[in-house]
Amino acid sequence: MTTATTALTLTTTVDSPIGPLTLTAVDGELTGLHMADQAHLPVDRGDRVPDRAAFKDVVEQLTAYFAGDLTDFDVPLRAQGTEFQRRVWDGLCRIPFGETWSYAQLAQRVGNVKACRAVGLANGRNPIAIIVPCHRVIGANGTLTGYGGGLDRKAWLLDHERRVLKGIAGGERGGT
């Protein structure tokens, strides 16, 4: 008889210019990147094991991103969601660094032009912020709209990416 084993969820929290980021991983794949006070945080079942060393590559890439030295992440991901949510999250990864798409553009790119609201809901449930760049989705009129990490962080991330493209990197953050 075989017994089912549950993979350990490893975790660590790192500082960033937009506040603490909590990382989670299972079997060497990133399953979460969450901000303090973020909407839709996963339920902590108390089964997380602290292990900063397991996140060495992720932390190095995040540090390089915030320093303006990295525009594309190369991190193994394991995002848990429905098939539609995973399609939306894959679509998010196709938005070029420093650019934005509207919810309608993203809906079109994931194959359902009428699914703007569903795309917005899936975007809001993205478990791996920044690396799966849900902050790059804006309203049809170009305004910043909902962001689980808060609109101030969304604005900071978009401004940071634009500054990097213009050659003006820097990790300072005003406000919170």
Kindly list the catalytic residues.
134
- Is-contact 24 48, C-beta < 8 A? yes
Q: CA-CA distance, 176 to 48, in Å (whole number)? A: 27
Burial of 49 (0-12, 13-18, 19+ CB in 10 A): exposed
Distances (CA, A) of 17 to 11, 14, 145, 149, 175: 20, 10, 21, 13, 11
Range list of H helices, 77-132: 83-92, 103-109, 116-124
Q: CA-CA distance, 16 to 4, in Å (whole number)? A: 37
Residue 75 neighbours by CB distance under 10 Å: 17
Q: Show Cβ contacts of residue 38 under 8 Å, excluding neighbours closer than 6 positions.
A: 129, 148, 149, 150
Planar angle of CA 81, 99, 156, nearest 5 degrees: 80
